[in-house]
Structure 1
Amino acid sequence: MAEEDIEPDQPLTPAGRLFVQPQMEQVINCAIAGEHPIDVDAIRYEVQNSIMLKHPRFCSLMVRDSCGREHWRKTQIEFSRHFIFRHEPLSHDPSLSDEDAVNDYIADLSVYSPLPSDKPLWEVHLLMAHNTAVFRVHHALGDGISLMSMLLSCCRRVDDPSKTPTIAGLGSASSTAGLRRRWGVRTLLKVVWYSLVYVLEFVLRILWLRDKTTSLSGGAGVELWPRRLATARFLIDDMKIVKGAVANATINDVLFGVISSGISRYLEIRSSKAPQQGLQITGLAMVNLRPQAGLQDITKLMNSNSGTKWGNKFGIILLPVYYHRNSSNPIQFVNRAKAMIDKKKLSIEAPFSYKIGDLVMLLFGAKLASILNYRIICNTTFTISNIIGPREKITLVGNPVKYIRATSSSLPHAITMHMLSYAGVADMQILAAKEIIPDPKVLAKCFENALLEMKEAAQNANKS
């Protein structure tokens, strides 16, 4: 190749540089289970001809220059190195379901299996005995919104194979896009006040403010501990029934109400001594900062001139939930969650977290930015993200999809939760450090039961 034809290296974005630091390295693991056996040739052909490989980040090595700065360097893809085959069953225990076996496999990947740096940072693991493909993509290549939008561009609708899944009008439950604010004097004062309060708390969390220790607490070094992975399943229709019982509530409010109630239930089961009423347990919630909420039009994401940006375009907010003993009205958990989230929506906490990260990276480098991010994780208790996926059933290379689930590499948190909806069902992957939370299925059941009790209370309220 002539020297003038060689493409110059491209620097990583600030967020990309953060996710390749040893303390913060993150890989997204997305499992797609099919109803029929995997057609290996069809999967390989689809990936090789997908829009994914038109994006330079998926065809580039991550390299460091003499100053230690990270860059993308274009390379030739050896497809045989990107497809990992497991033909035998993942477990010889006949009582273990396919879903549990896949969860155990991903739990091990979340701790022990970084992506090799001598090839582009993605892999496809084909679990032949379980009809499941696990797509592993380094977080430096993009966030959940970007990567899920790209993955679904390879899928088709069951009811109309000529069409891709419906993404127009979808909203991410953790997105700031689409907020409608009336900028009166009173609202403006609230915006200023809540922004000051939440930004100050955010800074204090980085410096020294820490949650009280509970049976859910992690800390420095916990990201290296073995993990277990469990799934909590929610019907979107059930969440809508609960939403209807609280004026102006959203699915997001219901989700965080369920988390608050479920955590309270779990603490009652696991704690030798009942926690103090109102005990704060703080999480980090991922917030999409793109102008359009939810999944994106992949062609717009790939267009650098589009206002919708590819990559890692999200901020984080502190999400406090509070321990409350089970009451006669479980809807109160949703009321409290809504009141808190309404205040968060009026603040600039999410964009502040994004901009301050960029500023620290620019002025002091990736190492300090990594240390600060690591500290705020150590000073809180859990991580939560939520993406609204396809509304209808879909196929991947003609194979009907049973479920889509996503999680990421382990963090200093003892518990991380990633929820993704698909065709009326929301699956929340609960990744737990098993020495701290040995029974994540119990925690998953606490969340599921919390929603069912809220649904029953909402239905009873409607009858009366």
Structure 2
Amino acid sequence: MHARTSRARTKVTMEDAGGSTARRQPSLSVNASRAPSGDWPPADEGPVSPTGRLMDGFYIVVSMGLGVPLNFPVLRAGIETQLARHPRFHSIQVTKDGKPPRWVHASALNLDDHITTPLLDGAAVASDPDKAVEDYVASLSTAPMDRSRPLWELHFLNYPTTEAASTVVIRVHHSLGDGMSLLTLLMASTRSAADPSRLPAMPAQPARSGSIYARPRPPWSAGTLAFITWAWWYVVLAWHTVVDVALFVATIMFVRDPQTLFKPADGGGGELPRRKRFVHRSLSLDDVKFLKHAMNCTVNDVIVGVTSAALSRYYFRKSGDTNTKIICLRSILLVNMRPTSGLQEYVNMMESGKSNDMTRRNQLGYIILPFQIAVHKDPLEYIRKAKKIVDRKKSSLEVMFTHMLAEVIIKTLGVKAAGVIFHRMISHTTISFSNMIGPAEQVEFYGHPVVSIAPSVYGPPEALTVHYQSYSNTIKVILAVDEAHFPDHGQLLDDFTESLRIIKDEASRL
């Protein structure tokens, strides 16, 4: 069930943890030391953003399960005429004369350098196809990328699993964009399954509320109390911002999470690269929305509460800890600071080969989001506590100040010093966390119906990264785990499924 690798590719056999082998191009890494042939100014596309330079060791991996076997000529033609035309997919990072790296347009793009068709071990596939594909994707977390080429790859796995008939894996260096911009680019390469002539329908962006957003001054006729209330919101906003930024700086310097079974003894700072395994489970988006309405909260509140419940369930079962006091673990939540761009804007970029700087740069802020590890007699308490925590974070400008602080550190102290500080901040917390919104309907990827979308990331030193991705009527929880630290990652996934079920059942009794 495999196709021959492209004729231009060097055939290299690589063993992975599951006993599978794959034909791959030579190992791929980041930052070219020399510019390509030709003059620098005409090819120069501008500097790599400070956040992009800070993300030098971070990679985004997206697994898309398809409903039919791969049609290689159709996929390749679609990628060549659309996805590969995006300007950033033609650019490499170049350092010249010791100056900060800049994006330079590569002289030519050989698509065969970016497409891999692996040949997995037949016995491993026959024994457990899901694990064979999972093992291959895990092997990418220790494979470098070639610094002389644009930093993206597609891996075509024409092997049926329990969820899909085939799988396409996209690996992209984080400097090419943040997760939201890259996912939007990927969705701009898809079409509605119901009507392939149009782009997929995306859910409306959630309404923004809270003190972080502008509050109009009340009219003079509203009275003194209205003005006092209006002014008080800004006092609270300023106070919460000062507290959050101070805690952020203290986390970099000395405040660290307690040592628990979610955190390696070395804080994730041991031998690198640490192999990550990407596992996922589909949850019902209808169940999440039911809880949203039943608890009068947001989808974010629900998934934060479910995550807290799942981590608590896993912790107390595995540790055997009978002391049920609340343990506070913190996550780093990366927030996209760019204005939201529509799918059509990305389509126009791919058709024209030109893009504006706002749609391609990493512009991220950081929020330290607490999770409570606790035993609650009432399962709904996890949602209530989560709502309280998220509402508190909405009344703060933490994300804006941390974004500015990161850029100032990079510009004044340099990338190496900023990298040490960034690594220290992450190693002093426990997990990374994110939630992204996907298409509201089924889509096709160059004629192939998409049954699942599972984005994740590797590079951060934490042993556990939690992502949520909505798609049609499902919301998928994706875990990137240090496989040496979480050999029972399947049980952890089960805890997410069971936690959602228990909380929903309790809400149904209301």
- The SS at the match of 2:509 is helix
- For residues 36-435 of structure 1, the aligned pairs below 5 Å read 36-50=68-82, 52-55=84-87, 57-67=88-98, 69-75=100-106, 76-88=108-120, 92=124, 94-98=126-130, 100-110=131-141, 112-130=142-160, 131-167=166-202, 169-171=204-206, 181=215, 184-218=230-264, 219=267, 220-221=269-270, 224-247=273-296, 249-274=297-322, 277-292=325-340, 297-298=345-346, 309-327=359-377, 329-435=378-484
- The SS at the match of 1:169 is coil
The answer to whether the 8 A contact 1:215-1:437 is kept is no
Deviations 1:47-103 (A, max 9, x none): 111155241x211222222315212222111111111111445761544243x4333
Q: Structure 1 residues 153, 292: closer, same or farther in 2, change over 3 A?
A: closer
- The SS at the match of 2:149 is coil
Deviations 1:243-291 (A, max 9, x none): 12223x1000000001111111011111143455111111111222234
- The SS at the match of 1:129 is coil
Which shows bigger deviation, 423-432 or 250-259? 423-432
Among candidates 15, 18, 23, match of residue 51 of structure 2: 15
Question: Once the 2 structures are TM-superposed, how far is the Cα of residue 172 of structure 1 from its aligned partner?
Answer: 10
Structure 1: which 5+ residue stretches go unaligned?
Answer: none
Q: Structure 1 residues 372, 172: closer, same or farther in 2, change over 3 A?
A: farther
Instruction: Give the corresponding residue for 2:33.
Output: none
Q: Larger radius of gyration, structure 1 or 2?
A: 2
Distance in 2 of aligned mates of 1:187 and 1:10: 40
Number of equivalenced pairs: 450
- The SS at the match of 1:371 is helix
Q: Structure 1 residues 178, 94: closer, same or farther in 2, change over 3 A?
A: farther
Distance in 2 of aligned mates of 1:89 and 1:37: 18
Distance in 2 of aligned mates of 1:431 and 1:272: 24
- The SS at the match of 2:61 is strand
Q: Structure 1 residues 336, 73: closer, same or farther in 2, change over 3 A?
A: same
The answer to whether the 8 A contact 2:64-2:169 is kept is yes
Question: Once the 2 structures are TM-superposed, how far is the Cα of residue 161 of structure 1 from its aligned partner?
Answer: 0.8
The answer to whether the 8 A contact 2:211-2:233 is kept is no
Q: Structure 1 residues 181, 300: closer, same or farther in 2, change over 3 A?
A: farther
Aligned residue identity for 1:455: K
- The SS at the match of 1:92 is helix
Distance in 2 of aligned mates of 1:31 and 1:122: 14
Distance in 1 of aligned mates of 2:334 and 2:242: 20
Distance in 2 of aligned mates of 1:2 and 1:272: 64
Q: Structure 1 residues 66, 177: closer, same or farther in 2, change over 3 A?
A: farther
Aligned residue identity for 1:144: G
TM-score normalized with structure 2 length? 0.82
Distance in 2 of aligned mates of 1:296 and 1:176: 30
Question: Once the 2 structures are TM-superposed, how far is the Cα of residue 304 of structure 1 from its aligned partner?
Answer: 5.9
- The SS at the match of 1:119 is coil
Distance in 1 of aligned mates of 2:128 and 2:118: 17
- The SS at the match of 2:117 is strand
- The SS at the match of 1:402 is strand
Distance in 2 of aligned mates of 1:116 and 1:283: 31
Aligned residue identity for 1:221: G
Deviations 1:4-41 (A, max 9, x none): 99423632111111122xxxx11111111111111111
- The SS at the match of 2:280 is strand
Aligned residue identity for 2:372: Y
The answer to whether the 8 A contact 2:59-2:459 is kept is no
The answer to whether the 8 A contact 2:333-2:432 is kept is yes
Question: Once the 2 structures are TM-superposed, how far is the Cα of residue 454 of structure 1 from its aligned partner?
Answer: 1.0
Distance in 1 of aligned mates of 2:338 and 2:410: 21
Deviations 1:147-204 (A, max 9, x none): 111111111111111111112623499x999957566112111101111111111111
- The SS at the match of 1:152 is helix
- The SS at the match of 1:241 is helix
Structure 2: which 5+ residue stretches go unaligned?
Answer: 1-36, 161-165, 218-229
Distance in 1 of aligned mates of 2:236 and 2:211: 19
- The SS at the match of 2:196 is coil
Aligned residue identity for 2:454: R
